[in-house]
Amino acid sequence: MTSKNIQFELLAQEGEARCGVLKTPRGDIRTPAFMPVGTQGTVKAMLPEHVRATGADVLLGNTYHLMLRPTAELINELGGLHKFMLWDGPILTDSGGFQVMSLASLRKMSEDGVTFSSHIDGSKHSLTPERAIEIQCLLNADIQMVLDECTPFPATEEEAERSMELSMRWAARSKEAFGDRPDQALFGIVQGGIYRDLRERSIQALTDLGFDGYSIGGLAVGEGPDLMKQVLDYTAPALPREKPRYLMGVGKPEDMVAAVLRGVDMFDCVLPTRSGRHGQAFTHRGPINLRNARHAKDPRPIDAGSDCPASSRYSRAYLHHLFKAGEYLGPMLLSWHNLHYYQELMSGLREAISNGQVTGFVEGFHAQRAEGDIEPL
């Protein structure tokens, strides 16, 4: 890799599924890896030590949100994002491009970058490839992303091509701005919509530039799981084998399992914490809604066999009560449980790939979910 102090080691492979470790100065990231999202310098409703206890090796921070509040300059003045949020492990930051498109108003796109008004107070800002890297460096992120335009869905092939080519020009500028940073890594982002030839051209452009890892962007934007899998079928295996592969913003358990089978190493998504705040728990038998009346008298925990206190110590009846009463502890406990479930899923995948048993693991994963949450009281 170009960043000499950040190295990816591929430990095992079964079919396209891979198990490895991304070594950074702040600690190893075991892959397949799920990165909890700390959008504004915090994983919502979670203490950092509880996030670590779930098995998380790395967190994600968000350039867009942190540049607006409290500003990257202030975080840098206070010692960087790790010190600011009391997380001593690796942090990956996105470039902010997706949030500019989805949250900001009065956007104006140009070759130079994008200008926009903050969704918080309407203040005007500019985000260029160079500024996106500057912000991530001020945050002192271990793994940084190039600025890209997230191609919307649906998009015509002509629209997707124009968007992809702009993102590739921005990727080149981002790489130049990043320079030589031996303790940090820069990932390129593959775009091209649902069009194979555009994805292949994007991969070629990025590999010609040379990055420390490669992200797959522009998915989970409305195309549906079948189309997403089709794109991954030809995109992930075409990326350099010796570099980590990161599927951005994908976080349904079944989608992550499908992506691992296609060669993806890293994931992030707000789903486990967002769902937890609204009463949904992810389990081996599929998702359940603790707000539903059927849980009101259920003395069982979500998962009696789990070593996570939120999963094993509190009854479903109590969790149901907390959500009905509007108590903060409910979202806290379900966020904790969901993150633990996600890390347990990643751990199971790593072990299965290492032992050459990933096919059986995935069959068991789907069989359990097909049964549903039907255990008798």
In 10 A of CB 209, how many CB atoms? 16
Among candidate residues 124, 97, 32, 139, the one with its CA nearest the CA of residue 358: 32
46, 256, 315 from 310: Cα distances, Å: 12, 23, 9
**What contacts 169, CB < 8 A, 6 or more positions away?**
111
| Strands, sheet with 114-117, edge to edge from the N-terminal-most edge strand | 105-109, 114-117, 124-127
Question: Which residues on adjacent β-strands are paired with residue 34?
Answer: 267
Amino acid identity, position 197: D
**Catalytic entry in 94, 142, 212, 303:** 94
Pair 38, 87: CB distance under 8 Å: yes
Question: Which residues on adjacent β-strands are paired with residue 116?
Answer: 125
212 among known catalytic residues: no
Q: Three-class SS of residue 353?
A: helix
Provide the token pair at 255: 């989608």
Pair 271, 251: CB distance under 8 Å: yes
Q: In angstroms, rounded to a whole number, what is the distance separating the alpha carbons of residues 296 and 317?
A: 5
Provide the token pair at 352: 């299965």
Amino acid identity, position 139: L
Work out whether strand 7-14 and strand 17-24 pair parallel, antiparallel, or are unpaired: antiparallel
Among candidate residues 282, 293, 307, the one with its CA nearest the CA of residue 373: 282
148 among known catalytic residues: no
**Catalytic entry in 57, 142, 268, 303:** 268
Pair 203, 239: CB distance under 8 Å: yes
**Residue positions annotated with a catalytic role:** 94, 268
